[in-house]
Amino acid sequence: MISLLSYLCNGISLGSVYAIIALGYTMVYGIAKMLNFAHGDVIMIGAYVTFCAIQYLGLPPMVSVLLAMVACTLLGVIIERLAYKPLRQASSLAVLITAIGMSYLLQNVALLLWGSNPKSFPSVVNLGSLSFFDGQLLISGETIVTVVMNIIIMVGLTLFTGKTKMGKAMRVVAEDKGAAELMGINVNLTISITFAIGSALAAVAGVLLCSAYPTLMPTTGSMPGIKAFTAAVFGGIGSIPGAMLGGILLGVIEILGKAYISTELGDAIVFAVLIVVLLVRPTGLLGKPVREKV
Amino acid sequence: MKKMIALVLALAMALTMTAFATAEDAGTIKIGVIGPMTGAAATYGTAVANGAQIAAEEINALGGVQLELLVQDDEHDAEKAINAYNTVMDGGAQFILGTVTTSPCIAVAAQAYEERVFMLTPSASSTEVTDGKDNVYQVCFTDPAQGTASAEMISEKALGTKIGVIYNSSDAYSTGIYQAFEAKATELGLEVVTAQAFASDDNADFSVQLSACKNAGADLVFLPIYYTPASLILAQAKSMEYAPVFFGVDGMDGILTLEGFDASLAEGVMLLTPFSAASTDEKTQAFVAKYQEAFGETPNQFAADAYDGIYALYTAVQNAGITAETSPEDACELLIAQFPTLQIDGLTGALAWETSGEVTKTPNVYVIEGGVYVKME
């Protein structure tokens, strides 16, 4: 019983990391209607910036995280301006391929800048772990912070898109770009801001990812990126609570699958569940069914 | 008379040409170095290229036979490794130091066997690399040899009674060591209580594997894996408050050089490795100092294996009288004849080779204490 509980906790801790990455994916997809495959790599850059700030500049962790958020925001805006904006009218396939190219570009730039040797990321979380049942069940400080950050970001994003003028503009752009433009909304600016927010979230996700799993190398973002994308689809891509739910469920399924079926089949089980969910509910768990317009 | 002059001129020309040829060629032997210089396995490839470069520079400074390294990137990909092999051979390489990682090495070895090109791999440790090929030799231990030696060491020093294993089932290196380890452990009466696999190099969460070891009551966990996943395992074991003895193999070497790594996590970790940068002998210290100066990093065992590999090749080249004129095919036969007779006193121990291509050298066991390796006697 305790071991099941402890597996559940481990699952939530892994899932909360997926969820925080998935929030960025889903935000950009929901508004710009594009899959930003470079998101995982922006995460990696964010983690590297934090690492350098702590290790080489000796800055306190919180300042380093803020610095990484600024750096990633700038990076996100630059990527959007240079690579995606010229393709605004192009087919979605062209944008998708560009995003994949951007992902490899970022990985290789990181390889040039920081080398191929992995680095061990110092945790930015100073919280001890919570212990239950005489230490048989432990919840690490990183897990607690990640879950709390997830909730803050989720609530924050929901309020932002629901209440603020910019947020409303984003929802209109998501609904119909052409009509939004006719209503006097600056579509380009709105999409740029979406990217800026998505990338700032990526920095936070990168720091939390590396605090929980402390190896940092140029490919660090790619596998979690793919899993988080799966989580976003699982929960219903475009839906902010869906990303969080999808992420947590994905982590729990992965850990339980590993624990009770096979440690080698964890990933296979995750993707099999995804296929089943998509067969039953093609829009994901919390996705709104889209009626085909005739 | 005219004929006479023509003859003299022709003779003079022929003489000068041969003179030029010997002056230039006696020196420069071309060695192809193939390994992953970019991509996820780049750490190993660049270490090999750097270690080989230091050895070649030392040898070139001696005068006499000069070595030129033709370095090509294979991105740890079998197909690209074949391209890299073709590129170095087109560039005039006479034999190969490489390749670095196992699966590309198997592919290249097959082609080199067909074309009769000699290969000395610094680090591809699977027996599949050398199986049935007389032209492929290894500087590193084979995987089974490491597994067997680890089991012997654990039994001999009574390091643990209940043994858990965490290995990477998608990696031939890790699986090979694990299988040999388990066979030997059973033979020696050690109890392997659980063997937990993970199936991807990107795996980051080891909580399930560690819980299984903890629940099985393992007091020693054998980690035949590379140091990157091992560093994650150590961190996660700590947050689970699980503290068995961790015992690694040569892939564990480098864990202390991981930038930002909290060395206290590795306190008490044991590892079996032929090379350690922390070793205090003069030769190792000189190599480490040179390497740090040139590349700003601490060398790992891949660099040391490559360094020893270049010296082994150099010795064999001298013994066999190979010159720049020797074709790759001839060099191959000469080196095959030389290698089983070589005795190299290298950074990774006293090296000698079997005709199968397998190396024999003595492994050392180190314990990490206070952030440094301490040799276990």
Average pLDDT, chain A: 88
Residue A120 CB partners (closer than 8 Å, separation 6+) = A214, A215, A216, B231, B258, B259, B260, B261, B262
Mean pLDDT, residues A192-207: 92
The per-residue pLDDT for range A163-176, each reduced to its tens digit, is 999 999 998 888 88
Q: Does B216 touch chain A (CB under 8 A)?
A: no
Cβ of A266 and B262 within 8 Å? no
Fold of the domain built from segment(s) B144-273: Rossmann fold (3.40.50)
Residue B25 CB partners (closer than 8 Å, separation 6+) = B323, B324, B325
The per-residue pLDDT for range A79-133, each reduced to its tens digit, is 999 999 898 888 888 989 999 999 999 999 998 898 777 888 888 887 777 777 7
Question: One-letter amino acid identity for B95?
Answer: F
Q: Does A113 touch chain B (CB under 8 A)?
A: no
Number of neighbours of residue B97 by Cβ within 10 angstroms:
34
Number of neighbours of residue B162 by Cβ within 10 angstroms:
17
pLDDT over 70 at A161, yes or no = yes
Give the per-residue pLDDT at B23: 40
Do A283 and A290 form a contact (C-beta atoms < 8 A)? yes
A205's enclosing H/E stretch is helix A187-212
Which chain B residue lies closest to A256 (C-alpha atoms)? B208
Cβ of B261 and A129 within 8 Å? no
Give the per-residue pLDDT at A4: 86
Give the per-residue pLDDT at A141: 85
Mean pLDDT, residues A208-237: 89
Give the per-residue pLDDT at B126: 87
**What CA–CA distances, in Å, run from A246 to A30, A238, A265?**
15, 12, 19
- pTM score: 0.79
Q: Tell me the chain B residues in contact with residue A265 when contact means C-beta distances shorter than 8 Å.
A: 199
Could you give the CA distance from residue B116 to residue A228 in angstroms, rounded to a whole number? 49
Which chain B residue lies closest to A119 (C-alpha atoms)? B259
What ipTM does this complex have? 0.82
Q: Does A222 touch chain B (CB under 8 A)?
A: yes
Instruction: Report the percent of chain A where pLDDT is more than 90.
Output: 40
Superfamily of domain B22-141+283-360: Response regulator (3.40.50.2300)
At A266, the pLDDT band (50, 70, 90 cuts) reads confident
Q: Tell me the chain A residues in contact with residue B239 when contact means C-beta distances shorter than 8 Å.
A: 129, 138, 140
- Number of Cβ pairs closer than 8 Å across A and B? 100
pLDDT over 80 at A259, yes or no = yes
Give the per-residue pLDDT at B6: 66
Domain boundaries of chain B, sorted by first residue: 22-141+283-360, 144-273
Do B91 and B31 form a contact (C-beta atoms < 8 A)? no
The per-residue pLDDT for range A14-66, each reduced to its tens digit, is 899 999 999 988 888 888 888 888 999 999 999 999 999 999 998 998 999 99
Domains B22-141+283-360 and B144-273 share a fold: yes
Give the per-residue pLDDT at B116: 95
Return the C-alpha torsion angle B233, A119, B262, A227, nearest 10. Answer: -40
Q: B73-93: buried (b, 16+ CB within 10 Å) or exposed (e) per residue?
A: bbbbbbebbbebbeebbeeeb
Cβ of A118 and B43 within 8 Å? yes
Q: Please say whether the dihedral angle defined by the alpha carbons of residues A38, A39, A44 and A49, taken in this order, is positive or negative.
A: positive
The per-residue pLDDT for range A65-78, each reduced to its tens digit, is 999 999 999 999 99
Spans of chain B, pLDDT less than 50: 18-25
Instruction: Report the percent of chain A where pLDDT is more than 70.
Output: 98
Surface of B (271-310) touching A: CB under 8 A: 297
Least confident range of A223-227, A231-235, B2-6, B260-264:
B2-6
